Amino acid sequence: MTAATDKKADEVPPVSADPEEEVDDVEEDGAPEGQGAGGEGKKKKKKKKPKKKKLEQTEPPTVGLSKLFPDGKYPEGELQDYKDDNAYRTTSEEKRYNERMAMEDPEVTYNNIRRAAEVHRQVRRYARKYIKPGMRMIDIAETIENGTRALVEENGLECGIGFPTGLSLNHVAAHYSPNPGDTLVLGEKDVLKVDFGVHVKGRIVDSAFTLSFDPTYDPLLEAVKAATETGIREAGIDVRLGELAGYIQETMESYEVEVNGKVLPVKPIENLSGHSINPYQIHGGKSVLLVKNDDQTKMEEGEYFAIETFGSTGRGKVIEQGECSHYARIVDAPHVPLRLTSAKSLLNSINKNFGTLPFCRRYLERAGESKYLLALNHLVAQGILQDYPPLCDVRGSMTAQFEHTILLRPTRKEVVSRGEDY
């Protein structure tokens, strides 16, 4: 609530934009309206005060969120209590105290994460309405990216796009984004995974959903949505990653989908995973696989995870296939001297524009780079950049994905990217 609104009775009303408006309704002699000298009888029409229209988001989304949240406080995500021997945390004074302590520091990440999450919700709300078969993948990607840039009020590496907009289709499960010149058009029968990220001070909100325009694969989407919800519900402080994978697998495999009269089991994709997230680092090193395994690693208090599951009607295994669009600097990559000058200047541009945040070729061109491919591949070959080619199950199979980002706060689990849509 900005100063303007919480006006105390005794305060002189602030001079609004057009002083005219103020004066009108106060007669010189203070007499009630219309009764004054010379105005006998003629009832002067009381000009209605134009109602302050509440600033709303536009379509396509263009209004920076600082305009919609003038007090800078962003909405909390969905709160889920911890279970079993961590349930005490919800009411534990000590936990609430040090959380409050943490909360005092304005810089604290929570509000930054929630601002990024609100941008994600408002951009995807428009994307889910706007995306239709017949559209070019590049137009879909740029509409999402322009929305993110406007709403997060992009400002260099302070806040902006978290990673390349994933628009993987059908048997392609992840890491496809259109490259410059891509003329691919979304088809009626396509199953589209929309996976995009927003960051504020390096705190990346990573959330994804699947769209289809034909009901055939609805059971596949239901299976994956339920498996992701199981992952979110079962995640928690001290939970072992291998066990969590087992719960996700159980839910996923309890579904099947009938395609052209053939009943196909829904398989979790065994070599894809959710992941911990660190500041400016999309994969923080801990992977939440989708098939039971003996990874005894525990989730810890304060950690930040992307819980995502992938289901497939194919082999349930992906391979790297097709032209690469996704790249990221390898965090603490060994320093290697670069002889190729074009590679040196490309690396400078990458450090300036992306740092360790993932990027794609379109973002390089947007940053003014051209004829960069040789240098790009050289930086990959030198182990300075990691390339992330599209991850594909067998042609003809269908894959789906749902993803939310969760925060393991001392007292409760916060599903920061939760929305009314998924």
**CA 80, 81, 83, 85 torsion-angle sign:** positive
Which of 161, 223, 282, 299 touches ligand 57R by CB under 6 A?
282
What distance in Å separates the CA atoms of residue 197 and residue 208, rounded to the nearest whole number? 9
Write out the binding residues for substrate: 175, 283
64-93 residues near Co ion, rule: CB under 5 A = none
Our answer to whether residue 295 is catalytic in this structure is no
Residue 328 interacting with ligand 57R (CB under 6 A):
yes
Our answer to whether residue 76 is catalytic in this structure is no
Residue 388 interacting with ligand 57R (CB under 6 A):
yes
| Neighbouring residues of 415: CB distance < 8 A, sequence distance ≥ 6 | 77, 78, 79, 80, 232, 404, 405, 406
What distance in Å separates the CA atoms of residue 335 and residue 106, rounded to the nearest whole number? 36
Active-site residue, selected from the candidate residues 283, 326, 378, 404? 283
Tell the smallest beta-carbon distance from residue 275 to ligand 57R (Å): 5
Name the E strands within 248-398: 256-259, 262-265, 267-268, 273-276, 287-289, 304-312, 319-320, 326-329, 359-360, 385-388, 391-392
Residue 269 interacting with Co ion (CB under 5 A):
no
Residue 199 interacting with ligand 57R (CB under 6 A):
no
Tell the smallest beta-carbon distance from residue 91 to ligand 57R (Å): 34
Residue 196 interacting with ligand 57R (CB under 6 A):
no
Residue in this structure with the two tokens 């790009």, named with its chain if needed: 376
Our measurement of the distance from residue 338's CA atom to the centroid of its chain's CA atoms, rounded to an integer in Å, reads 35
Write out the binding residues for a divalent metal cation: 195, 206, 275, 308, 403
- As a whole number of angstroms, the longest Cα–Cα distance in the chain is 92
Our answer to whether residue 283 is catalytic in this structure is yes
Residue 174 interacting with ligand 57R (CB under 6 A):
yes
Active-site residue, selected from the candidate residues 120, 171, 199, 275? 275
What distance in Å separates the CA atoms of residue 118 and residue 208, rounded to the nearest whole number? 14
346-375 residues near ligand 57R, rule: CB under 6 A = 358
What distance in Å separates the CA atoms of residue 285 and residue 287, rounded to the nearest whole number? 6
Residues near ligand 57R, by CB under 6 A: 163-164, 174-175, 271-273, 275, 282-283, 287, 308, 326, 328, 358, 388
Active site residues: 195, 206, 275, 283, 308, 403
Residues near Co ion, by CB under 5 A: 206, 306, 308
